[in-house]
Amino acid sequence: MFRIEKRPQPSRLWTYLTPLVAVVITMIVGGALFAALGKNPVEAIRTIFWDPLFGEFSFYYRPQLLVKAAPLILIAIGLSLGFRAGIWNIGAEGQYIIGALTGAGVGLAFYPLEAAYIFPLMVLAGALGGWAWGMIPAVLKTRFGTNEILVSLMLVYVAEQLLAKMALGLLRNPDGRGFPGSRNLQQYSSAHNAEIIAGTGVHWGVVAALIAVIFAYILFTRHVLGFHIRLTGQSPKAARFAGVNPARLALICLGLSGALAGLAGMFEVSGPAGQINIDFNVGYGFTAIIVAFLGRLHPVGILLAGLLLALTFIGGENAESNLGLPAAAIQMFQGMLLFFLLAVDVLTHYRLRWKSAEVA
C-alpha cells in the first residue's frame, strides 16, 4: 500500500507542477460532469479556460480578469501575513464590507462637491475602516486570549447587518425612489475609482494589489518583520527567544490584513460595483482565503492563484450563458478545482512511497 512520508525539504519540482496537475485533473473530471449534463466537454472546458484569454472577445475579458482578481489578491496578500505567523483572520469578508462602508461614506458625505482630495480621503477611510474591524479580534486576542478565528468570523455577520442597515438607511440614495442602495459613485467623478487607462480594466485597486504583492515579497525576503512572521509560524517558542513580541505581531498582522481587505472593499464600491447595496459583498473575503492557500501563502503564488480563480469565475459565467450550463454545475466545477489543488498539494511536502508489505 501507499505510505505518505514527509519530505525533508518541500519539493521544488512539485511546487510548480502541482497546480498544473490539479487543473488537468479538474478538466478531466469536470469534463465528465459536463458530458453527463449533455454538453460537449471539450467546448465547455475551452469556454472556461481558453476563451476569456484568447477567444474572440478576449479584449474585453482580459481586463475583466484584472478587475475580478484584484480584490482577491489584495485581501489574500493581507491574509497571508497572518496565516504565515499562525494568526487566523477568516473574517476578511467583514473587513471588506466595513472598508467599503467607510470609504463610500466619506465620499458620499462630500456629495456633490467635486475636489481632488476626496478620493484619497476615501482610500484612507476604507483602509482605516477595515483596519479597525480587524483590530477588534486582534485586541481581544492580545488582551484576553480570545480565539481570533471565531471572533473575526462572527464579525462578518455583524458587518453584513450593518451593511443592510446602511443601504436602507443612512447611505440610501435620496433620489433612488425609495429603493435600497446608495448613490452610484461611478456617477460622482471625484469619488469614482475609474479605470486609469480606459479599456484596460486597471483601476486603482489593481494597482494597489500589485503594490501589495511587491510589498509582501520584499517584506518576506528582506525585512525583519517578514522574518519574525515566518519564525513565529514555524516555531513560536524560537520566535520568543529571538525577541519577537507575539502580541505586537498579532496586532500588526490582523491590522494590516484588515486594512488591505478594507481597501479592497473601498476600491470595489467606488469602482466596479459603484454603490453600497444589501448584496454588495459577493464572498471575496472568503474566496481570498482559498486564494491565499492556493498561492501557498507566497506573494507570487497568490497573484497567480487570484488570476486563476478569476478565470474560472469569468469563464464559468460564459459557459453558463453560451452553453446553457446551470450555474450549479459551474459552482461544483470550481469546488472540484479547489479540492484537487488542495489534494495534490500533499505531493509538495510529502512523498508517496509504495510499500510492498508491512513488516510485522
Partner 1 sequence: MDLSSINPTLLLASLIVASTPILLAALGELVVERAGVLNLGVEGMMITGAICGFAIAVNTGSPFVGFIAAAMGGALLALLFGVLTQFALANQVASGLALTLFGLGLSALLGQGYQGIKPPPTNSLDIPFLSDLPILGPILFSHDLMVYLALALVAAVWFVLNRTRAGLILRAVGENHGAAHALGYKVIRIRIMAILFGGACAGLGGAYLSLVRVPQWTEGMTAGSGWIALALVVFASWKAGRILLGAWLFGGISVLQLNLQAAGVAIPVEYLSMSPYLITILVLVIMSADKSRAPGSLGRTFHASD
Partner 2 sequence: MSLTRFLASAVVALGLAGTALAEDKTKVGFIYVGPVGDGGWTYEHDQGRLAVEEHFGDKVETVFQESVPEGADAERAITQMALQGADLIFTTSFGYMDATINVASKFPDVKFEHATGFKTADNVSVYSARFYEGRAIQGHIAGKMTKSNVIGYIASFPIPEVIRGINAAYIHAKAVNPDVEFKIIWVYTWFDPPKEADAATALIDQGADVILQHTDSTAPQAAAEKAGVISFGQASDMAEYAPLPRVSSIIDNWAPYYIARTQAVMDGTWESTETWDGIAPGMVEIGEISDAVPADVKTEALEMKRLIAAGEYHPFTGPLNKQDGTAWLADGEVADDGTLLGMDFYVEGITAEIPK
Residues at the contact surface with partner 2, assessed by CB under 8 A? 56-57, 59-60, 64, 67, 164, 168-169, 177-181, 184, 186-187, 197-199, 268, 271-275, 277-280, 282, 314, 317-318, 320-322, 324, 326-328
Specify the residue, 140 or 210, whose C-beta has the smaller distance to partner 1.
140
C-alpha cell at 193: 475609482
How many angstroms separate the CA atoms of 351 and 9, rounded? 11
Q: Which does 50 bind (CB under 5 to 8 A by kind): partner 2, partner 1, none?
A: none
Residue 221 or 322 having the CB closest to partner 2: 322
Shortest reach from residue 233's CB to partner 1, in Å: 12
Half-sphere exposure of 301 (CA within 13 A, CB side): 17
The C-alpha cell that represents 191 in the structure block: 469619488
Residue 147 interacting partner from partner 1, partner 2, none (CB closer than 5 to 8 Å by kind): partner 1
Query: What is the residue whose three cell numbers read 508491512?
Result: 358
CB of 302 to partner 1, least distance (A): 13
DSSP string, 166-223: HHHTTT--TTSTT-SS---GGGSGGG----SSTTS---HHHHHHHHHHHHHHHHHHH-
Rounded to a whole number of angstroms, the minimum distance from the CB of residue 222 to partner 1 is 27
Nearer CB in complex with partner 1: 150/196 = 150
Rounded to whole angstroms, the Cα distance separating 17 from 191 reads 43
d(CA 235, CA 242): 11
Residues binding partner 1 (CB under 8 A) = 4-6, 88, 90, 140, 144-147, 149-151, 153-155, 157-158, 161-162, 164-165, 286-287, 289-290, 292-294, 326-336, 338-339, 342-346, 349-350
Q: Choose from partner 2, partner 1, none: what does 234 bind? Cβ within 5-8 Å by kind.
A: none
Which does residue 241 touch among partner 2, partner 1, none (CB within 5 to 8 A, set by kind)?
none
Cα gap 243→228, rounded to integer Å:
9
Min CB(160)–partner 1 separation in Å:
8
Cβ closer to partner 1: 63 or 295? 295
Q: Could you give the angle at which helices 246-270 and 92-110 cross, rounded to 10 degrees?
A: 50
CA distance 228 to 217: 14
Rounded to an integer, what distance in angstroms lies between the CA atom of residue 137 and that of residue 80? 17
